[in-house]
Structure 1
Amino acid sequence: MERDIISLYKETVGSLLAAADSFSRETFNQVPFEGSWTAAQVLVYITKSNLSVAGVLSWQGEPAHRPPDERVKELGDIFLDFTTRLKSPDFILPEPGIYEKEILLQNLQHSITRIYNEADRADLSEAVKHPIFGDITRLELLYFVTYHTRRHINQLNNILKYVSTCQTVS
């Protein structure tokens, strides 16, 4: 199970980096439509979320007293439902602005490396008390970060369609 999620996350990261690479310097910071984030802002958001999850993975854990993957389906049902709009915590929302693609991708890669490193050190069957998720195992957190990343890959692909084919908002 633990190797499965690491492989799944690695595959998802590959898709994320490919999606990010699809944007030119010009389209990276373009607002595709009113109320949307830019591709750059999506990547800032993912980076902030990753760093938050990496921090939680390092928290003191305790025995879960339940299967460590019990909430995986619940997390998938929530985060892989692309028809719903979810509210993000304020502390990980991206700031408006123009971002340098290369610097942002370096920061993103750093956040991904932190997740790998923390996952490698942690007992994934242990639970932590998360302010949003409540009692959640580290294994479930890795599924969350994978599903959450997939959700935003979908968002990046939609943004790319708009900036490639539609008139964008200035």
Structure 2
Amino acid sequence: METILLDTDRTFTTLIQAVSSFDEQQLNETPFSGSWTAGQVAQHLILANTGFIEVMQGPVKDADREPGQQLGQIRADFLNFETKMKSPDFILPLPIDYSKQRQLGTLENIKSSLMNLIETMELDKICLTFELPGYGFLTRFEAIYFVNYHSQRHTYQLNNIYHHLSEE
């Protein structure tokens, strides 16, 4: 329990620091052709993570397998920064200007919700609301780590965008 709380706290603290490093203009500036803006990356995480919180709060069933069975594959897939991935349409960010303060506030709320979920819910239950393509139905434990690894992947992307914009 303590490890998952620390991992989640560390992941979101680092993510929030990465978003905080951009000024309002940089947040909405396209760093290079074909890239999202930092604001779009943050919005993608907001959409995905909010969705996963809803999934974890939805209907569940007892697990018929180890609660962390999928962790190794999820970690390997999402923390391989050489692999390009395509976002599902339902969590694609709109190509608009985003408010840094609003996004930071939402990310803080997501962090708080996740920490509360970890402390109050049975993490070994399988979530039935959403089947993650390639992985199937996740336990709450796996879903939290999916959120963490997915957020870490995009924090890496945010840091690259910041680096690119700072070099101009």
TM class, shorter-chain normalised? over 0.9
- Post-superposition shift, 1:115? 2.3
Work out whether 1:146 is the aligned partner of 2:145: no
Paired position in structure 1 for 2:165: 163
Mapped partners of 2:151, 2:67: distance in 1:
21
1:29, CA displacement in angstroms? 0.8
Question: SS at 2:126's partner residue?
Answer: strand
State the partner residue of 2:138: 136
**What is the deviation of 1:105?**
1.2
TM-score of the aligned structures, taking structure 1 as reference length: 0.91
Could you tell me whether the CA contact under 8 Å between 2:11 and 2:151 is conserved in 1?
Answer: yes
Aligned to 2:78: 79
Structure 2 gap segments, 5+ residues each: none
- State the 1:131 CA deviation: 2.3
Distance (Å, rounded) in 1 between the aligned partners of 2:58 and 2:88: 20
Match of 2:34 in 1: 35
| Deviation larger for 59-68 or 35-44 | 59-68
Q: Residues of 2 paired with 1:15 and 1:149: CA distance? A: 9
SS across alignment from 2:93: coil
Deviates more, 1:63-72 or 1:156-165: 63-72
Question: Runs (4+) of structure 1 moved beyond 6 Å?
Answer: none
Over residues 51-104 of structure 1, what are the superposed CA-to-partner deviations in whole Å (9 max), with x where a residue is unaligned? Answer: 001001112211112211111101101100000111211111100111121112
Q: Which moved more, 1:152-161 or 1:127-136?
A: 127-136
Q: Which moved more, 1:115-124 or 1:9-18?
A: 115-124
Cα distance between partner residues in 2 of 1:94 and 1:21 = 19
* Aligned residue pair count: 165
**What residue ranges of structure 1 are gaps of 5+ in the alignment?**
none
**What are the superposed Cα offsets for residues 5-41 of structure 1, whole Å, 9 maximum, x if unpaired?**
1210101111111111111122111100011111111
The residue type equivalent to 2:166 in the other structure is S
The DSSP-based 3-state class of the residue aligned with 1:12 is helix
Q: Using the alignment, how far apart are the partners of 1:128 and 1:62 within structure 2?
A: 7
* Residue number in structure 1 paired with 2:68: 69
SS in 2 for 1:135: strand
Alpha carbons 1:32, 1:163 under 8 Å: kept: yes
Quote the offset at 1:134 in angstroms.
1.6
Residue 136 of structure 1 aligns to a residue whose secondary structure is strand
Aligned alpha-carbon RMSD (Å): 1.3
